[in-house]
Structure 1
Amino acid sequence: MLQMYMILAIVLLIPGPANSESLKLSLRESIAMALGTSHRIKAASSGVQAAQQNAAAVESRYYPGIFLDENFIASDTPTRAFMMKLDQGRFTQDDFQTSTLNHPDPRHDFRTAITAEIPLFVPSTAPARAMAVKEAEKEAAHLDAEQEEVAFQVFRLYLQARTAAAQAAVAGQAVADARENLRLADVRSRAGTGLKSDELRARSHLATLEQRLITANNDLAIARMRLATTIGLGLGSRVETQDEPLAFPLDASEESLMAAARAERRDLRAARTELERTDAAVSLATRAYLPTLGAVAGYEMHGSAPFSADNDSWMAGLSLRWQLFDGFGRSRERGRAAALRTAAGERLRSSQDEVEFQVRESLLRREEMLQRREVARHALADAEEAARLVARRFENALATMVELLDAQTALNQARATLQASEADAALATGAVWHACGIFLKEMR
C-alpha cells in the first residue's frame, strides 16, 4: 500500500503536457503589458477618438458650406423654355411672337453653379460645441478610469495567482509531512509499539491532503489563466508570477489621501464634466430663442453642354430667421435641460460622498489586514512549535496519532492563513490607492 502511495505522489509531481504558452512576469510588467493589450482599454480609447471626432464635426459648423451643382433640364413648357433661353443669353426679338411664346420648340439647359452658405450668427453652435468638447473630456476620463481599473484588476489577480502558488506549495508540504507521519506510524506498527488504526488513520489523512493538492494545483492553473486573460494575452496563455517582495508602504495622511481622491478620481472628474456639459445644454436651450443670420453667395453658368458657359451670373444675399412661436416647445426643452443640470449636480455630490466613504473604508480595511497578518505570523510560529513538540512526543510514544494529525492540520491551516494574509495586506494597500485614484501613479 505504501508503494502505491509513493507512485501516486510521483505521478502528481510530473508536469502535464505543455499545451499552452506560459510567460513569467513581474507585477509591474504585468500591469504595463495590460495597459497596452487590454481589450477594455482599446475600446475606451476608440470611444475617446469617436468623441473627439464628434467635437471636431460640431466645430465645423463655424465654417461656410461650399456646394457644386450640375443640373440638366429639357422641356417644351412655355415658361421653362422661355427661361432657359433667357438664362443662356439666346433671347431675341422673335421670341416675343405669340406662336413662339405659346408653342416653343423643345429646349434643354445645363446649369453649373457654385454656392457658398456662410453662417454669420448661429446661437446654437457655441453651446453645441461646448457639449461635444465636454463629452470628449468625459470619454477621456472614462479611458483613464478603465486604465486604473484594469491595472488594479491585474494587481488583484496577480496577488491571487501568487497566493494560489503559495497555497499549492503549502499543500505540497502538507502531503510531504503526511507521508512522514505515515512512515512513522508504519515503523511503530512493524515494531509492535503502534496501533494498526494509527497507520490507517495516517493513510486516510494522506489521501485527503493529496486530494487538496490536486485542487490547489488546479486553482493555480486557473488563476494563471485568468491573469493572462485580463492582461489581454491569447486564449490558453498563462502568466507565472515572480517571487518578488510585495511591500507597499503607505506614508500619506488621511487628509492628503482625501485631497488626492477629490482631485484624481476619474468618476468625480467625469461627474464634474457632465455638470459642465449640462450647463452648456441649458445655454443651448436658451439660445433657441435667438435669431439666426446667414449669408449666401453663388456663381452659375448656363449652356447647351455640361459645364459650358453660354451665359453666367452671380448672386449674393443675407438671410435672417427668427422663430417667434413654436407651441412652447423651446420653453419645455429649457426646463428639461435645467432639470438635467440639477440631476447632474446631485449625482456629483453623491459621488463625492461615496468617494470619501470608500477612502475611509479602505484605510480601515488596510489596518485590519495588517493586524490580521501579524496575528497570522504569530499563529504560524506557535503552530510550528506545537507540531514539532507533538511529533517528538509521538516518536517517543507519548502522543496519539490523533494529536499528531490535529497538530499537523493546525500547522497547515496556519501556513495557508499566513499566505492569504500577506496577499490581503498588499491588496489592501493597493485598494487605498485605487480608492484615491492614484493606483497607477503609485505603481509606476
Structure 2
Amino acid sequence: MKNKNIFTLFGLLALSWTAFGQDTLRISKKDLIQRMSEKNLQIKIAEKNYESAMADYHQSNSLFLPNVNVSHTAMLTTNPLMAFGSKLNQAIVSTEDFNPAVLNHPSRTKNFATKIEVQQPLINLDGLYGRQAAKSKMDAFALQTERTKEYLELEVNKAFMQLQLAYKAVRVLQKAESTGKANLKLVENYFKQGMLQKTDLLNVQVRVNEISNQLQYAKSNVQNASDYLGFLLNDEQSKKVYKPTEEFESEFSVISVNTVLPTNRKDIQAMDKSSEAYQKMVTSGKMNLLPRLNAFGSYEMYDDNLFGTSAKGYLVGAQLSWNVFDGYKSIGKLEKAKADYNKAQTETEQYKAKNQMELNQAVRQLSDAENNVKLTQLAFEQAQEAYKIRSNRFAQGLEKTTDLLQSETLQSQKELENLQAIFEYRFTQEYIQFLTK
C-alpha cells in the first residue's frame, strides 16, 4: 500500500510537469516591453485621461470661435401684438392694418421665420486664464502618462526577472532531486547490505519527498510569474506559460547611483503642471470680477409660407457686461481656487519629500543587497565544498546519513538564497534608476 502511494505521488508530479510544459511561449524582455506599451490596460486608462483633458482644452476654443445658431420657427396667432409684428416682419403692413378694429381683433396670421444668429466673444479675460489652466492640466496628464509607461516598464522588468528566477529555482531543485535520488539509491544498497539502519533509509526517503514538494512549488511559481506577465500584457489566454529567452544572470555588477531626486522627473513635472493649473484658475477667478465684451449679430428672413424668404433683415451689435455682484458666488469660487492651489503646492512638496525618502532608503537597500549577495555567494561555495567532503566520506562509511542530508539540504538552500539575493540587488538597481529617471 505504501509503494502504491509513492507511485501515485510521482505520477501526479509527472502529470503536473507535463501540463507545465505545454502551451509555453518563449519571449524576450524587449518583446515584453513592446507588447506592454501597446496592450496594457493601465496605460490605456492613462491615455484616456489625457484625451479627456485634451477635450476640456479644446472646449476653450470657444473663446476665439463664434457660436452660430440656425433656427426656423412656424407660428399661427390671433394675438394683436404678435399678429401686427408678424406682418411688420414680413413687410406686408398696409394702411388697412392700422384700423383699430383690425388691430384689436386681427384674423389668424401665419408667420415663418428663419434666423441665423452669431455670437463672437471679444474680451473674456477669465476665459483666457481658464484656457491656460486647461492647457496645464492636459500637459500634466501627458507627463503622467509617460511616467505610467516608465513605471510599468519597471514592473515588466521585475516580473521578467521573477520568471527567470522561478525557472532557475526549478533547475536548482531538479538538480537537488537528482542528487537526492542518487543518495537514496546508495543508501538502499547500504541498507540491503546491512550497513545502515531502517531509520537512515526513511530519512533519505523523506528528504527526496521534501525536494519533490519544493519542486512542485517552484513550478507553481513559474505559472504565477507567467500569470502576472499575462496581466501586464492584457493577454486574455489563461494558464499560458512564458519562458524567457534570456537566462537569469547569476553575476552582478556594482554601479554608481544618483542620490538626489531629479526635479525633471515626469511625475514631478506633472504635479508642478497641476499646481500651475490651479494657479491659473485663481487668476481666472480674479478676472471674473472684470467686465466682458462680446459681439453679436443675426440675419432674419420672414414669410407667410414655409421656408419663405420674402422679407429679410439683419442686426449687429456689441455688449459690454459687468456682473457687479452675484451674491458672493464669484468671490466664493475665487476663495476655493486659492485653497485648491495652496493644497496642490503642499501635496507637491509632500510628494517630493516622500520620494526623496524612498530614494534614500533604496540606496541603503542597494548597499545591504550588495553585501547580502557577497555573503550568500560565500555561504553557497562553502556549502558546496562541505557537501562534497561529506559525500566522499559517506561513501567511505565515515559520515552519518543525517550529516549528509543536512549538508545536501544546506547546499540547495544556500544556492536558492544566493539567487534571491542577486534578484533583490538587480531589482533595487532598477528601482533606483526608476526613481532618478
Q: Same fold (TM over 0.5)?
A: yes
Q: If the TM-score is normalised by the length of the shorter chain, which range does it land in?
A: over 0.9
**What aligned pairs does 1:7-406 form with structure 2 within 5 A after superposition?**
9=10, 12-13=13-14, 15-17=17-19, 21-236=23-238, 237-244=240-247, 246=249, 251-254=255-258, 258=260, 261-264=262-265, 266-406=266-406
Answer yes or no: is the 8 Å Cα contact 1:110–1:305 preserved in 2. Answer: yes
Q: Distance in 2 between matches of 1:360 and 1:423?
A: 20
Q: Secondary structure at the match of 1:301?
A: strand
Task: State the partner residue of 1:442.
Answer: none
Q: Secondary structure at the match of 1:240?
A: strand
Q: How big is the shift at 1:387?
A: 0.5
Q: How big is the shift at 1:202?
A: 0.9
Query: Which deviations, in whole Å up to 9, do the C-alpha atoms of 1:235-293 show, x marking residues without a partner?
Result: 313321233465775644535xx26x3212x3211210111011101111101110111
**Greater CA drift, 243-252 or 306-315:** 243-252
- What is the aligned residue count? 433
Q: Secondary structure at the match of 1:309?
A: coil
Q: Secondary structure at the match of 1:209?
A: helix
Answer yes or no: is the 8 Å Cα contact 1:362–1:435 preserved in 2. Answer: no
One-letter identity of the residue aligned with 2:258: E
Q: Distance in 2 between matches of 1:13 and 1:188?
A: 28
TM-score normalised by the chain length of structure 1 = 0.92
**How big is the alpha-carbon RMSD for the aligned residues of Structure 1 and Structure 2?**
2.2
- Quickly say closer, same or farther: Cα 1:144–1:68, change in 2 above 3 A: same
Q: Distance in 2 between matches of 1:75 and 1:3?
A: 101
TM-score normalised by the chain length of structure 2 = 0.93
Q: Distance in 1 between matches of 2:193 and 2:253?
A: 56
Q: Distance in 1 between matches of 2:88 and 2:297?
A: 21
Answer yes or no: is the 8 Å Cα contact 2:50–2:142 preserved in 1. Answer: yes
One-letter identity of the residue aligned with 1:347: E
Q: How big is the shift at 1:21?
A: 4.1
Q: Secondary structure at the match of 2:125?
A: coil
Q: Distance in 1 between matches of 2:84 and 2:372?
A: 99
One-letter identity of the residue aligned with 1:142: Q
- Quickly say closer, same or farther: Cα 1:6–1:188, change in 2 above 3 A: farther
One-letter identity of the residue aligned with 2:242: V
Answer yes or no: is the 8 Å Cα contact 1:66–1:116 preserved in 2. Answer: yes
Q: How big is the shift at 1:405?
A: 0.6
One-letter identity of the residue aligned with 2:422: E
Query: Which deviations, in whole Å up to 9, do the C-alpha atoms of 1:370-390 show, x marking residues without a partner?
Result: 221111111111001101111
One-letter identity of the residue aligned with 2:183: N
Q: How big is the shift at 1:135?
A: 1.4
Point out where structure 1 has 5 or more consecutive residues left out of the alignment.
Answer: 439-444
Answer yes or no: is the 8 Å Cα contact 1:26–1:244 preserved in 2. Answer: no
Q: Secondary structure at the match of 1:254?
A: coil
Q: Distance in 1 between matches of 2:165 and 2:291?
A: 68
Query: Which deviations, in whole Å up to 9, do the C-alpha atoms of 1:362-418 show, x marking residues without a partner?
Result: 122112112211111111110011011111111111111110111011011011111
One-letter identity of the residue aligned with 1:154: V
Q: How big is the shift at 1:230?
A: 1.4
Task: State the partner residue of 1:432.
Answer: 432
